């Protein structure tokens, strides 16, 4: 197997959500810790796409922010090209420019007072990629053309663009420093389907042209199926199943994955009343003991309620963290 471009081992991020000190002392309350990400492992091979799916609060965006260096992990190791990396604690310009991010909301991720040229050109100047302002302008024009916009758009402001066009600008900005690894956190969730199709097509084309490796995060299973090579399913801070996407969607093993694949509303569900899963994702503040999914799981037994399942490798590749699968019960 080729050496992974990005590797993450035991990634954990804990947030302190305690009430203020005085309240704790007066009411005798303990500190409260929220384990948003709890021991996540994955590796992404060069020019491949790893998809992460899960519902809100499962920790997928926190994984993205830790890898991008927007926040420091509480524990765990991250490696880029085999070398330890933690951009939030140890800024490293060479790695920094190689790892870029595209955010969900192109209305919030672009500075409304900056011309497109400034937003897209800033990384070129910051990393010393452009030799002069004229060179910067030329490179911005090329980037805008690459994402399907016109070089003339460089002089405009974000409000002059539609949502889909803004996301193209955000992609051009992410590509400016010629990154190897692009983290995309729900990049099309704010867009209409017809616009989404165009942006997804663009991202696949750019992956080939720029030789990009993607970490692609979405709650939309069909979008992840379209974009990813391998898919990890997150539930309450952990990856419960990771498989090559065809196997994951055709033969999901974890009961949660099965449920997700079954309940996703799609055109195939036409006229078929799907049986929605009862219950909700528990609060990450007080996760259930044992397997976090056991309160909603039809296959849960006493062991599931007491013992947290570890990821077990599957014969066909990938892994699944489920006692019922490991014991051959399902």
**How far, in Å, CA of 195 to CA of 131, rounded?**
35
**How far, in Å, CA of 147 to CA of 199, rounded?**
9
Pick 27 or 267: Cβ nearer another protein: 267
Q: For another protein, which residue of 250, 302, 307, 327 counts as binding (CB under 8 A)? A: 250
Site track 206-245 with another protein (rule: CB under 8 A), x = hit: -------------xxxxx-xx-------------------
**Strand partners of residue 244:** 230
Q: For another protein, which residue of 265, 286, 315, 328 counts as binding (CB under 8 A)? A: 265
Pick 163 or 244: Cβ nearer another protein: 163
Please, what is the minimum distance in Å from the beta carbon of residue 316 to another protein? 17
Cβ-Cβ contacts under 8 Å for 191 (sequence gap 6 or more): 163, 164, 167, 199
Of 283, 277, 282, 275, which is closest to residue 297 (Cα–Cα)?
Answer: 277
Pick 242 or 260: Cβ nearer another protein: 260
- Residues 182-211 within binding reach of another protein (CB under 8 A): 192-198, 200-201, 204
**How far, in Å, CA of 124 to CA of 139, rounded?**
8
- In the chain, the N- to C-terminal Cα span, in Å, equals 30
Which stretch, 8-16, 66-74, 124-132, 269-277, contacts another protein (CB under 8 A)?
A: 269-277
Please list, residue by residue across 36-51, b when 16 or more beta carbons sit within 10 angstroms of its beta carbon and e when fewer do.
Answer: bbbbbbbbbbebbbbb
Q: For another protein, which residue of 266, 298, 313, 317 counts as binding (CB under 8 A)? A: 266
What does the binding site for another protein look like in residue numbers (CB under 8 A)? 55-56, 162-164, 192-198, 200-201, 204, 219-223, 225-226, 249-250, 259-261, 263-271, 273-274, 276-278, 280-281
């Amino acid at each position: 197997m080729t050496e992974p471009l990005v590797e993450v081992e035991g990634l954990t991020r804990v947030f302190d959500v305690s009430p203020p000190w005085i309240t704790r002392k007066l009411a005798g309350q303990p500190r409260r810790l929220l384990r948003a990400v709890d021991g996540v492992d994955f590796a992404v091979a060069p020019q491949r796409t790893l998809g992460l799916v899960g519902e809100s609060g499962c920790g997928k965006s926190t994984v993205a922010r830790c890898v991008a260096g927007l926040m420091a992990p509480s524990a765990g190791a991250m490696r880029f090209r085999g070398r330890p990396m933690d951009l939030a604690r140890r800024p490293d310009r060479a790695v920094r420019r190689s790892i870029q991010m595209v955010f969900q909301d192109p209305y919030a991720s672009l500075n409304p007072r900056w011309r497109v040229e400034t937003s897209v050109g800033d990384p070129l100047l910051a990393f010393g990629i452009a030799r002069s302002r004229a060179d910067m302008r030329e490179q911005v024009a090329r980037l805008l053309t690459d994402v399907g916009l016109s070089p003339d758009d460089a002089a405009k402001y974000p409000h002059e663009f539609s949502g889909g066009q803004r996301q193209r600008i955000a992609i051009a900005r992410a590509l400016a420093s010629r990154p190897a690894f692009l983290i995309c956190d729900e990049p099309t969730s704010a867009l209409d389907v017809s616009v989404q199709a165009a942006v997804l097509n663009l991202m696949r084309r750019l992956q080939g042209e720029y030789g990009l490796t993607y970490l692609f995060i979405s709650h939309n299973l069909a979008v992840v199926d379209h974009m990813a090579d391998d898919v990890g399913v997150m539930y309450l801070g952990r990856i419960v199943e990771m498989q090559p996407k065809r196997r994951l969607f055709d033969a999901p093993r974890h009961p949660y994955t099965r449920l997700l694949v079954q309940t996703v509303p799609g055109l195939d569900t036409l006229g078929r009343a799907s049986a929605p899963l009862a219950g909700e994702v528990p609060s990450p503040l007080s996760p259930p003991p044992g397997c976090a999914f056991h309160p909603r799981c039809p296959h849960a037994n006493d062991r599931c309620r007491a013992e947290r399942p570890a990821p077990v490798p599957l014969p066909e590749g990938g892994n699944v963290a489920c006692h019922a699968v490991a014991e051959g019960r399902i």
